[in-house]
């Protein structure tokens, strides 16, 4: 609707982990999902700071011509979700791996 997209990240059981709204290269974290407080966007840092470290590679969970959304499992059992502009990564989530795990 009006160029606004809503991306919801679910686990394999259908539980909502986090959500992002995006339009015209702008992102907003929506307060929906088990790890909503760990969602990062170019405009917003996560609500909480964790000291957990990544235990697996970044996984792309959504990608279109404008947006890449990734999920990273952390050592404390949580999952960090990050949205970024596809143009910032040359359209390739692997190109953003240094940006996405920080």
- The reported pLDDT for the residue numbered 28 is 92
Task: Give the whole-number percent of the chain exceeding pLDDT 70.
Answer: 83
Summarize pLDDT for 82-99 with one digit per residue, the tens. 999 887 766 555 555 544
pLDDT of 94 reads: 56
Count the domains in the chain: 1
pTM over 0.85: no
* Angstrom distance (rounded) from CA 2 to CA 13: 31
pLDDT in tens, 58-88: 999 999 888 999 999 999 999 999 999 887 7
Its domain, for residue 57, covers 5-100
Inter-residue contact 33 to 18 (CB < 8 Å) = yes
Q: What is the tens place of the pLDDT at every residue in 36-46?
A: 999 999 888 88
Are 60 and 68 contacting, i.e. CB atoms less than 8 angstroms apart?
Answer: yes
**What CA–CA distance (Å, rounded) separates 96 from 8?**
20
């Amino acid at each position: 609707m009006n160029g606004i997209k809503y991306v919801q990240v679910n686990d394999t059981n259908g539980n909502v982990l986090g959500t992002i709204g995006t339009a015209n290269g702008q992102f907003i974290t929506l307060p929906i999902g088990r790890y909503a407080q760990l969602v990062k966007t170019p405009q917003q840092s996560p609500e909480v700071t964790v000291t957990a470290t990544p235990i697996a590679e970044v996984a792309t969970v959504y990608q279109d011509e404008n947006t890449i959304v990734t999920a990273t499992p952390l050592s404390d059992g949580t999952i960090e979700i990050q949205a970024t502009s596809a143009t910032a990564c040359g359209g390739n989530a692997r190109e953003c791996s240094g940006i996405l795990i920080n």
